[in-house]
């Protein structure tokens, strides 16, 4: 177990709705990264939060937004859901930025958009 938790584990939404996914980072980690993994693809980097500020963003539209809280937990918000947003959403925490070799993934939230 990595100590990174995500909620909920599964979620079903309809097109146009909004969704909030949550991630609790491992103790001692101040950085959280979010990824989207479509079926049969590798994870795609959405953005990273370091000490409550966005620190790097992938090629995702503004309707994907996030927050990091003082306890370093994080939220991913997606507005105006589209069918293609159906995917596994992974968060990963790390003790510092740019540390791909020390990031630990949570189990993910599987989002289905109908």
Note the residues at the interface with another protein (CB under 8 A): 2, 33, 35, 40-45, 48, 55-56, 58, 90, 97-98, 100-103, 105-108
Choose between 43 and 66: whose C-beta lies nearer to another protein. Answer: 43
Choose between 2 and 73: whose C-beta lies nearer to another protein. Answer: 2
Pairing state between β 19-24 and 74-78:
antiparallel
Residue 107 CB, nearest approach to another protein (Å): 6
Residue 16 CB, nearest approach to another protein (Å): 28
Residue 40 CB, nearest approach to another protein (Å): 7
Choose between 36 and 78: whose C-beta lies nearer to another protein. Answer: 36
The burial class, CB within 10 Å (0-12 / 13-18 / 19+), for 34 is buried
Residue 47 CB, nearest approach to another protein (Å): 10
Tell me how far apart the 2 most distant CA atoms of the chain are, in Å: 38
Choose between 78 and 108: whose C-beta lies nearer to another protein. Answer: 108
Residue 85's closest CA among 56, 57, 63, 107?
A: 63
Cα dist. 3→38, 46, 68, 83 in Å? 24, 21, 17, 31
DSSP label of 25: P
């Amino acid at each position: 177990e990595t100590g990174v938790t995500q909620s909920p584990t599964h979620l079903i939404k309809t097109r146009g709705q909004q969704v909030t996914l949550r991630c609790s980072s491992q103790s001692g980690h101040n950085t959280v990264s979010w990824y989207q993994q479509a079926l049969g693809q590798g994870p795609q980097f959405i953005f990273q939060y370091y000490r409550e500020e966005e620190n790097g963003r992938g090629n995702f539209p503004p309707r994907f937004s996030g927050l990091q809280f003082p306890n370093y937990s994080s939220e991913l918000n997606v507005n105006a859901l589209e069918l293609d947003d159906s995917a596994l959403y992974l968060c990963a925490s790390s003790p510092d930025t740019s540390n791909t070799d020390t990031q630990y993934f949570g189990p993910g939230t599987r989002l289905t958009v109908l």
